[in-house]
Structure 1
């Protein structure tokens, strides 16, 4: 029973510190929370939490603040992610559903998440390597150039132009367009080789070189890794709380957020942490510049597995339940829109 009560005391300390930014004392806990025990018992529980490394006294005669480990225990003890209000859900749906293309969807999503959390929002573009092929369009451009338009199930559109050694036969192009989409639509990169391997043989001798060139450009485009990137918004939210939440300097945090490689590594690792909402706190990020931050992420865009990740970066003293709810909600709406 005492262990449950101490977790209640820890929860109260985290909630008060998030709300007030001030170290929390036993008197404040007694006045603000119905913990059902005496102030002396609360002081004993606080001493036990401090011995366990879950809270710390920042300076003499002050109250206590949560440590990284304290925040981790608090997050792990959350019974579930509280849902956003009906009004918040409607606002998310309306804003994202008005987007005209994938770039617009990503831009709206990152700005919306920053507004909901008052923190930095990061949204990864859907990876071509994890997307499925929806359609390939072949458009002759002149007599010896062919525009190959590749459309994925997540709404990405990639264009490549092929320069050929001989004049195009438009009847072959039309036939190839049909056969390519029948053979490969709905497949991911790992499945494409088998689906496309024998396609050129259907066009031998006429058009075989064209088929091989188109198949190669489709495979190479879907296999590329350099296209992965993230969009960031809301850095000003961190700057406004720099003094209280980043006691040393906010510079390393902002520098880390500017490094695409750092963010992509973190998002990729966190995509493997959990199927729902993942949280990394302080030094769990394994990046010195982000040691004073926490990151909440969720995958989006896939039925069984996500094709990209979005998240929120804020101070250790963040409202974890609210942030987790906002990240999950935006991810779900993005999934719904990209699947539509």
Structure 2
């Protein structure tokens, strides 16, 4: 059983190791922290922490470093989130202000988060699976080419050029727009997908059937995209700069960044605390092939439900600062999306 002072010694070891990247010894703890006891007493506390597998010695006669289990105890019981500074909060507000659309907002979100933390930033898009289609627009680019625009009440926007197998005029375009709008406007994405599949059957024998079929095919593909989970990232280059912080290869992390599916699953399955914060540390990520990394995340509120924004980096990371940054960015993102929904 670890004593309260032993837990405080663990906190000191985690903080000093994160700050210096050097194993922490009893003498340095006595010098840097006001425990009011001798180095011999601290060594006894460290021996108890080592028996509990919360710290370990990377080399014979060296200081100690936290284990993944030690980081977990630190995050669960000892970490105190550090409030962001006024300049950091100002940076978030100015960087995320007045985005052109949701894609722009999400891209800005991960860029400012990686700047704040120096880690790989991750953000789940709001879920559009339960969103409803609010607008369908067709814009003629040529007699046989149309830009299809779909908008959802969750802020999702899709734009896709559709080649047509026939030439149409403005009157035809208006008819097609009205037919498609009647089919899917006000419908949830899932229901809209089912209804658009019937578009061709409903218009069998119509002169505009070939054009309607082409448009319906494009819209069906875009609706399928709305139903898929999406992830946006920034700061992948930081992994190369921090490679020495990882105990093994960073290649699994690079592969996960490239494929995204693994990271989406991991982000979705992380368990949040009562504050909407979540951490997954080192070996806890082994089932996803990411046992070398830690991820911290915060929930944010969106019209389609909640999603997550966070950072990924080595287990030797500044958990309190990274969690605070993720929480601050998530709160501002929630506010931006709420204001956008209210404006609509």
- Provide TM-score, normalisation by structure 1: 0.79
Equivalent of 1:172 in 170, 175, 178? 175
Per-residue CA distance 1:109-132 (angstroms, 9 max, x = gap): 222212111222234555654655
Residue 264 of structure 1 pairs with residue 261 of structure 2? yes
Question: How far apart are 1:71 and its partner, in Å?
Answer: 0.7
- Partner of 2:47 in structure 1? 47
SS at match of 1:150: strand
Question: How far apart are 1:64 and its partner, in Å?
Answer: 0.9
Per-residue CA distance 1:227-285 (angstroms, 9 max, x = gap): 8453332524x444444x2355xxx3156325446543123322232342322222222
Which range is displaced more, 141-150 or 92-101? 141-150
User: Is the CA contact 2:136–2:151 (under 8 Å) kept in the aligned structure 1?
Assistant: yes
User: Is the CA contact 1:235–1:254 (under 8 Å) kept in the aligned structure 2?
Assistant: no
Question: How far apart are 1:287 and its partner, in Å?
Answer: 6.8
SS at match of 1:280: strand
Residue 253 of structure 1 pairs with residue 256 of structure 2? no
User: Is the CA contact 2:149–2:160 (under 8 Å) kept in the aligned structure 1?
Assistant: yes
Residue 321 of structure 1 pairs with residue 320 of structure 2? yes
Alignment CA distance shift 1:16-1:330 (3 Å): same
Unaligned runs of 5+ in 2: none
After superposition, residues 71-150 of structure 1 pair within 5 angstroms as 71-78=71-78, 81-125=81-125, 129=129, 132-143=132-143, 145-150=145-150
Per-residue CA distance 1:29-55 (angstroms, 9 max, x = gap): 223223355544322221111011110
Separation in structure 1 between the aligned mates of residue 292 and residue 86 of structure 2, nearest angstrom: 33
Separation in structure 2 between the aligned mates of residue 4 and residue 262 of structure 1, nearest angstrom: 43
Task: Report how many residues are paired.
Answer: 331
Query: Following superposition, which runs of at least 4 residues in structure 1 exceed 6 angstroms of deviation?
Result: 194-208, 210-213
Separation in structure 2 between the aligned mates of residue 218 and residue 288 of structure 1, nearest angstrom: 34
After superposition, residues 179-198 of structure 1 pair within 5 angstroms as 179-180=182-183, 182-184=185-187, 187=188, 189-192=189-192
SS at match of 2:135: strand
Alignment CA distance shift 1:205-1:233 (3 Å): same
Separation in structure 2 between the aligned mates of residue 338 and residue 130 of structure 1, nearest angstrom: 16
- Partner of 1:69 in structure 2? 69
After superposition, residues 239-318 of structure 1 pair within 5 angstroms as 239-243=240-244, 245-246=245-246, 252-253=249-250, 256-260=253-257, 262-275=259-272, 276-286=276-286, 290-300=290-300, 302-303=302-303, 305-307=305-307, 309-318=308-317
Alignment CA distance shift 1:326-1:32 (3 Å): same
Separation in structure 1 between the aligned mates of residue 155 and residue 80 of structure 2, nearest angstrom: 29
User: Is the CA contact 1:230–1:260 (under 8 Å) kept in the aligned structure 2?
Assistant: no
SS at match of 1:175: helix
User: Is the CA contact 2:256–2:262 (under 8 Å) kept in the aligned structure 1?
Assistant: no
Residue 231 of structure 1 pairs with residue 236 of structure 2? no
User: Is the CA contact 2:162–2:215 (under 8 Å) kept in the aligned structure 1?
Assistant: no
Please give the root-mean-square deviation of Cα atoms over the aligned residues, in Å. 3.7
Separation in structure 2 between the aligned mates of residue 235 and residue 69 of structure 1, nearest angstrom: 28
Which range is displaced more, 125-134 or 145-154? 125-134
SS at match of 2:100: coil
Per-residue CA distance 1:5-25 (angstroms, 9 max, x = gap): 322221111011111222112
Per-residue CA distance 1:156-181 (angstroms, 9 max, x = gap): 33324162568563442353365356
Per-residue CA distance 1:68-92 (angstroms, 9 max, x = gap): 1111111121466443223311210
Which range is displaced more, 327-336 or 172-181? 172-181
User: Is the CA contact 2:106–2:232 (under 8 Å) kept in the aligned structure 1?
Assistant: no
User: Is the CA contact 1:95–1:108 (under 8 Å) kept in the aligned structure 2?
Assistant: yes
Separation in structure 2 between the aligned mates of residue 167 and residue 86 of structure 1, nearest angstrom: 57
Per-residue CA distance 1:83-107 (angstroms, 9 max, x = gap): 3223311210111114333443333
- Partner of 1:4 in structure 2? 4
Separation in structure 2 between the aligned mates of residue 193 and residue 83 of structure 1, nearest angstrom: 45
Question: How far apart are 1:211 and its partner, in Å?
Answer: 6.5
